[in-house]
Amino acid sequence: MKNFINKIVSNSLDNENTIDLKSFIKNCNGCFIVDCIDSLKSIKNLKKETIIKSVSENNKSDFSKYYKYINYKPVPHMVDADWRFTIETQQNLVNKINKYVDKNKNNCLFVGTPSILHNKEVLNLKNLKISLVEKNETNINFENKIVCDILDFNPDEKFNVILCDPPWYKLAYKNFLYKFSQVMEEYGYLFLIFPPNGVRQSITNEKKEILTFAQTLGFRLYEEDVETINYYSSPFEVNSIIDNKIYNFPIDWRFGNLFIFQFKRQDNIKFEYYPSLNNNEWEEFVIKNIRIKIKNSIESKNKPVLEKIYLSDVLPTVSNRNEKLKEVNFWTSGNRVYKCNNVGVIKEILRFRSIKSFEKCLLKFSKYKNLVNLIENIINKEYEEYGQYWE
């Protein structure tokens, strides 16, 4: 993996368009900022000093002005792999869809893309008949909103246009593609977002396999728009990057590629869905917009404490491949992670605090005063960082 990242960074430095931190990150083709900067430090290059200097300037950017475009609830959490489109991407996607929609065939399905409907007042969605399928409940005010796993979605009608941003893993793409082949009208258009090649070493081969599978199902690649999908970094990602002492990075650095397919039904295709990633092992509590997920585990009679896993408490990555995640059973939407030895008591405290004041919580759990104070400090810190912008 290290050699893969070093090659990406070297290619970015060799690119004549790489002149500063922003262009360096863009030309790293989607590789995580923290990994790119770590690699950059070990490479000899004339451009290196300029980039490193801008990284080390302790002048944090104000990202709050962007949150209004994505501040529907719940706040993004890394467990949900929740990244949300920039307002420019939302507009571009709507314009692209409108280009392909026939006025008599305007039945659209949006899957895992609620951010578009959050800003529907500024987007031209008037001529589209839209259904939204979203696995997580949101507070977006939209009439035809279905909360379920897409694999459990069984509509009475078929769709002329489907827009989907799946989890960026091969098995998820295969599941989604097969489902879409069952609910799409003949000659309809599928707008599917793919990760860039810098996300991980295996992604190029994964993408080839996915495209071959799509073709087998009857999806013919019609158009490919590279680097046209941008996301705002979610608060959990912002905290991870800043925790690595990287400042002034562009909040819309993360991007994807839009693939547009036209569908021609194929008969006698047999397929069994791969098991979905199951997040039911986590129980969630929301306090002042801060989401805290607790992993269900064997109950303990030990005195409850939150043990540090990282010195700063912040998970320094957004990769699910991090080995230390095995220790985590207390995880906030600001990417602070801990190991707690008595989740039963922790859940009691969080459950009570989610409906009562801090003062009442402190009174009820007076024997765990230090723990209650620690949890409240975490909540207040994250409220200042981002929670206040989700009111």
Q: Is the pLDDT of residue 83 over 80?
A: yes
Residue 86 sits in the same domain as residue 223: yes
198 and 228 in a single domain? The answer is: yes
Q: Is residue 97 part of a domain?
A: yes
Identity of the residue numbered 191:
F
- Name the residue type at position 108: C
What's the mean per-residue pLDDT of the chain?
91
Pairing type for strands 84-85 and 219-232 reads: antiparallel
Residue 333 CB: number of other CB atoms within 10 A?
29
Q: Which pair of tokens denotes residue 374?
A: 């620690």
Assess whether 228 and 301 both reside in one domain.
Answer: no
268 lies in some domain: no
Residue 50 has a pLDDT of 81
pTM for the predicted model, two decimal places: 0.92
The whole-number pLDDT of residue 372 equals: 97
**Continuous segment of H or E residues that includes residue 223:** strand 219-232
Among 12-16, 75-79, 174-178, 223-227, name the one with the lowest average pLDDT.
223-227
| pLDDT at residue 25, rounded to an integer | 92
Q: Is the same domain home to 7 and 125?
A: no
Residue 298, pLDDT > 70, answer no
For residue 70, pLDDT beyond 80? yes
Residue 299 has pLDDT above 80, yes or no: no
Mean pLDDT of all residues in 89-118: 89
The tokens describing 277, both together, are 């990633």
Do 147 and 196 belong to one domain?
A: yes
> Looking at per-residue confidence, does 301 or 182 come out higher?
182
The closest of 338, 335, 340 to 308, measured between CA atoms, is 338
Residues 355 and 373 in one domain: yes
User: What pLDDT was estimated at residue 59?
Assistant: 62
Span of 14-28, 192-206, 222-236, 276-290 with lowest mean pLDDT: 276-290
Is residue 275 in some structural domain? no
Q: Which residue has the tokens 């920039």?
A: 86
pLDDT at position 102 is 79
Residue 261's H or E segment, with its range, is strand 254-263
Strands 145-147 and 330-332: unpaired
**CATH number of the domain residue 138 falls in:** 3.40.50.150
Model confidence at 279: pLDDT above 90: no
Q: What is the mean pLDDT of residues 128-155?
A: 91
Q: What is the mean pLDDT of residues 278-295?
A: 91
Stretch (H or E) spanning 184: strand 184-194
Average pLDDT over residues 4-14: 94
Residue 16 in any domain: the answer is: yes
DSSP string, 68-96: TTT-PSSPP-GGGT--EE-HHHHHHHHHH
pLDDT greater than 70 at residue 60: no
If one counts the domains in the chain, the total is 3
Contacts 24+ apart (CB under 8 A), 197-205: 197/29, 197/30, 198/8, 198/28, 198/29, 198/30, 198/31, 199/30, 199/31, 199/168, 200/1, 200/4, 201/1, 201/4
Of 36, 56, 76, which residue sits at a domain end? 56
**Bridge partners of 85?**
231
Give tens-digit pLDDT for 311-338: 999 999 998 888 899 999 999 999 999 9
Within-domain flag for 271: no
Span 166-172, mean pLDDT? 94
Token pair belonging to 204: 């190029």
**Average pLDDT, integer, range 237-244:** 94
Residue 367 in this model has a pLDDT that exceeds 70: yes
Look up tokens 């599978």; give the residue: 213
Q: Do 93 and 151 belong together in one domain? A: yes
Confidence of residue 17 (pLDDT cuts 50, 70, 90): very high
Residue 13 lies in a domain: yes
pLDDT digits (tens, 9 = 90+) for 370-389: 999 999 999 999 999 999 99
Residue 286, judged by CB atoms within 10 A of its CB (0-12, 13-18, 19+), counts as middle
Q: Pick the range with the lowest mean pLDDT from 48-62, 95-109, 123-137, 263-277.
A: 48-62
Instruction: Tell me, yes or no, whether 94 and 194 share the same domain.
Output: yes
Residues 241 and 184 grouped into a single domain: yes
- Statement to judge: residues 31 and 148 lie in one domain: no
Q: What is the 3-state secondary structure (H, E, C) of 131-162?
A: EEEECCCCCCCCCCEEECCHHHCCCCCCEEEE
Residues 22 and 91 in one domain: no
Element (H, E) at 377: helix 369-385
Domain of residue 16, residue span = 2-56
Residue 288 falls inside a structural domain: yes
Residue 276 lies in a domain: no
**Residue 162: burial class (beta carbons within 10 Å; 0-12, 13-18, 19+):** buried
Same domain? For 306 and 250 the reply is no
pLDDT of 124 over the 90 cut:
no
